[in-house]
């Protein structure tokens, strides 16, 4: 069965600093990979996704992630963090269950990002 590990429960960065959130997955085939963000009191918003192709994926709000098969990782990065980026970030892996785009998501436990002024 697939699994996702987000090693950092809580990260604090200063506004303007760079950010990297770690995500490692376990899955026997090429995974579909996602990053979602959940702001306080909100639902989940999709930041970016990887299905195939270019391993460096660009998302919304200036985020990017890189799929590294050799490391089973899909780390999320942003060069300069804004105060509005404070939220919880979830990495998810989609395990193909057949039928083309039919996959089942498994989520990591999330990383809470605090941004200091």
Partner 1 sequence: SAVISQKPSRDICQRGTSLTIQCQVDSQVTMMFWYRQQPGQSLTLIATANQGSEATYESGFVIDKFPISRPNLTFSTLTVSNMSPEDSSIYLCSVKSSRTGKETQYFGPGTRLLVL
Distance separating alpha carbons of residues 74 and 20, to the nearest angstrom:
10
SS3 80: coil
CB nearer to partner 1: give 15 or 44. 44
32: nearest Cα among 111, 94, 102, 114: 94
Q: What does the radius of gyration of the chain's CA atoms come to, in whole angstroms?
A: 14
Binding-site residue total for partner 1 (CB under 8 A)? 21
Among 7, 109, 114, 116, binds partner 1 (CB under 8 A): 109
CB nearer to partner 1: give 44 or 86. 44
Q: Which residues bind partner 1 (CB under 8 A)?
A: 32, 34, 36, 41-46, 49, 51, 90, 94, 100-101, 104-105, 107-110
């Amino acid at each position: 069965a697939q699994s996702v590990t987000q090693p950092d429960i809580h990260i604090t960065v200063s506004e303007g600093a760079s950010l990297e959130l770690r995500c490692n997955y376990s899955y026997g085939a090429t995974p579909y990979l996602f990053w979602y963000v959940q702001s306080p009191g909100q639902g989940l918003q999709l930041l970016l996704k990887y299905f195939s192709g270019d391993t460096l994926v660009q998302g919304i709000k200036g985020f990017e992630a890189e799929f590294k098969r050799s490391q089973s990782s899909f780390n999320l990065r942003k060069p300069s963090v804004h105060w509005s980026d404070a939220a919880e970030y979830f990495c998810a892996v989609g395990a193909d269950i057949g039928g083309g785009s039919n996959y089942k998501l498994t989520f990591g436990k999330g990383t809470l990002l605090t941004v200091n002024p």
